[in-house]
Structure 1
Amino acid sequence: MSDARVNPVVPRGSTAEKPFELVITPETAGWGFSGLRILDLPVGTRATFRTGGEEMLVLPLAGGCDVTCDDERVTLTGRRSVFSRVTDFAYVPRDATVTVRAPSGGRFALPSAKAGRRLPFRYGPADEVPVELRGAGQASRQVNNFCTPGTFDCDRLIACEVLTPGGNWSSYPPHKHDEAGDGESVLEEIYYFEVAAAPSGSPGSGYQRVYGHEDRPIDVCAEVRSGDVVLIPYGWHGPSMAAPGYDLYYLNVMAGPGEREWLIRDDPAHGWVRGLWTGQETDPRLPLTSTTERTRSS
């Protein structure tokens, strides 16, 4: 992030720009590659937009939709919520006209990245999304690797979903990816959050930590609620903290100037924590979701 005046915490609705509830572009973020838009469509409505120089995904957060790209169309089954199942998705290339139509309404994330190549419009089936369980004990979490290197081909875009059971920490130990070399790649990152509601329906919250290193200051310890975003231009980030009783979801969107690879370096002050996981069981609540619809309400 070249402009230190940009606030890394983006509350829900604060960057609305019709037809989108949230708009983050490389220009508004003050960096070079990563972006995200959130589209909330009432029943029977549609939105049409141009991708310009960005490749994008259409990722259902709630509901399903038809996605038309130029003269081709795919139908996304979607899901009831991010806490109900793993979803299918669509890839749309740069320099395309896209229409998203939601006969039953829905909410959709459009992670994006500045792209050099124009790849084909494609459908990503839910049953081909690798679901990974990381960590152990109270650092256990689920990662849906739907658009990571080796699982789905893009020019620059990397995206995944992380689900953390209530009371657990994820993105831990703190790590960074802002310098090339030594097992580390340069990636700008966006965290988009949703928090499972209480049984009464009242909203929950979680927390996100980001802090700087050397001559790159940044200091964030923020409460986050559904629809909020945290921008991570550089520095150590983590933990992402799920409050007891409230499962936490976040969508990670990453892109950078180098080869499309996701390489991180742990904060050396805390990397030793990984050694504690040896012999610990994964949280038995995981996985929270699969490609089968979850029966517990969220």
Structure 2
Amino acid sequence: MNAESTFHRPAGTAADGPYALDIHPKNAGWGYSSLRVLELPPGGHHSFATGESEWIVLPLSGGCTVAVDPPGPNGPGGAPTGEEFALTGRDSVFSGVTDFAYVPRDAHVGIASESGGRFALTGARCSRRLPARYGPASSVPVELRGTGNCSRQVNNFGAAAPAGGDDDYGFECDKLIAVEVITPGGNWSSYPPHKHDECRPGEESELEEIYYFEIAEANGRPGLGYQRVSPSGHGQNTDVLAEVRGGDVVLIPDGWHGPSIAAPGHDMYYLNVMAGPGEAREWLICDHPDHGWIRGTWPEQPVDPRLPLYSAPAGEAR
């Protein structure tokens, strides 16, 4: 496997068993981050053991129920006890914010879908076992980041609190950080290029990252985008320039990542999954010194009027 194919996995090349995509520490060559994409037909069901990882079940299209049971007999008569969450889901990643479910390590999980659908399982190896919980779509912070042709939308369903920010921001996990980004056609996101491959307290956190892409069709035609990762001098000196299409993933163990470029006419979605060895769950980044100046131009420009593509539905905040 050459360097490019190590880090860029086109759709279908990382399928395994029931999963259309299965990235985990062993096949990624790292320690923490995982991502699975599960496709269920109408009436379909899938179960799995969470093992040493915590997971968020995130509908990409369709809805499902998520049943969570601790391993082993715990209830009266030896019956397992647990919880069940009904996820409304959404038509597609371009149609709205979705609700989701958090499931802890050391549990058994069952996912069932009456109408069928596609579901992302974002995971991270962790040490703490937190309670299973439901995340309503109404509580997902939707952020517009950048301006002009650097405008993009970030759905912070599993974000870590920003440095110096609100501790209640995002959703509590032990290690897992996960967000969705939508880039309008013709725009650049993950820009300026940035990195998080060193542990520098208060300045930068060490995080492995997965980018999973979906590209909106236009005029009945599939689209594409581009993802750049350049060496930072740390780790594996990852160097990737990938043409990405729907269902592709790019693995980023280290390096400056960005830009993520959406072809004109085709909105681009990516799901970011991050985790690392740091004791604190935090997303601290360092901008590329040649390109960080672009942030200073943003106040002079309006946000792309195509954004937000959608907002979180009204409801009771978390």
The residue aligned with 2:38 is 39
The residue aligned with 1:121 is 132
- Matched-pair contact (CA < 8 Å) for 1:6–1:30: no
Tell me if 1:192 matches 2:203.
no
- Identify which range, 113-122 or 5-14, moves more after superposition: 5-14
Deviations along 1:273-298, one digit per CA (max 9) or x if unpaired, are 111112200000000122359xxxxx
- Secondary structure, in 3 states, of the residue corresponding to 1:186? coil
The residue aligned with 1:158 is 177
Letter in 2 for 1:116: S
Letter in 2 for 1:179: E
The residue aligned with 1:19 is 18
Cα deviation for residue 180 of structure 1 reads 1.1
The residue aligned with 1:281 is 302
Deviations along 1:158-179, one digit per CA (max 9) or x if unpaired, are 0000000000000000000001
1:102-121 superposed matches below 5 A: 102-121=113-132
Deviations along 1:173-194, one digit per CA (max 9) or x if unpaired, are 0000001116110000000000
Partners of 1:163 and 1:33 lie apart in 2 by 25
The residue aligned with 1:272 is 293
Partners of 1:265 and 1:47 lie apart in 2 by 40
Partners of 1:65 and 1:174 lie apart in 2 by 36
Cα deviation for residue 203 of structure 1 reads 1.2
Cα deviation for residue 6 of structure 1 reads 7.1
Letter in 2 for 1:14: T
The residue aligned with 2:186 is 167
Cα deviation for residue 213 of structure 1 reads 2.0
User: What is the TM-score when the length of structure 2 is the normalising length?
Assistant: 0.89
1:74-93 superposed matches below 5 A: 74-93=85-104
Number of equivalences: 290
- Matched-pair contact (CA < 8 Å) for 1:6–1:29: no
Partners of 1:17 and 1:50 lie apart in 2 by 16
Partners of 1:213 and 1:115 lie apart in 2 by 27
Cα deviation for residue 218 of structure 1 reads 2.1
- Secondary structure, in 3 states, of the residue corresponding to 1:180? coil
- Identify which range, 149-158 or 132-141, moves more after superposition: 149-158
Cα deviation for residue 4 of structure 1 reads 6.7
Cα deviation for residue 77 of structure 1 reads 0.3
User: What is the TM-score when the length of structure 1 is the normalising length?
Assistant: 0.94
- Matched-pair contact (CA < 8 Å) for 1:209–1:221: yes
- Secondary structure, in 3 states, of the residue corresponding to 1:21? strand
- Matched-pair contact (CA < 8 Å) for 1:34–1:254: yes
Deviations along 1:98-130, one digit per CA (max 9) or x if unpaired, are 111010000000010001001111000000000
Tell me if 1:222 matches 2:245.
no
Unaligned stretches of 5+ in structure 2? 70-81, 161-168
Cα deviation for residue 217 of structure 1 reads 2.3
Partners of 2:68 and 2:13 lie apart in 1 by 28
- Secondary structure, in 3 states, of the residue corresponding to 1:28? helix
1:61-100 superposed matches below 5 A: 61-70=60-69, 71-100=82-111
Cα deviation for residue 85 of structure 1 reads 0.2
Please report the RMSD computed on the Cα atoms of aligned residues, expressed in angstroms. 1.6
> 4+ runs of 1 displaced by more than 3 Å?
3-6
Deviations along 1:236-274, one digit per CA (max 9) or x if unpaired, are 000000000000000000000001000000000111111
Match of 1:209 among 222, 225, 228: 228
Deviations along 1:182-225, one digit per CA (max 9) or x if unpaired, are 6110000000000001132x211111000102364222111111
- Matched-pair contact (CA < 8 Å) for 1:192–1:251: yes
- Matched-pair contact (CA < 8 Å) for 1:113–1:157: yes
Letter in 2 for 1:260: R
Partners of 2:34 and 2:116 lie apart in 1 by 23
Partners of 1:125 and 1:15 lie apart in 2 by 30
- Identify which range, 32-41 or 210-219, moves more after superposition: 210-219
- Matched-pair contact (CA < 8 Å) for 2:194–2:258: yes
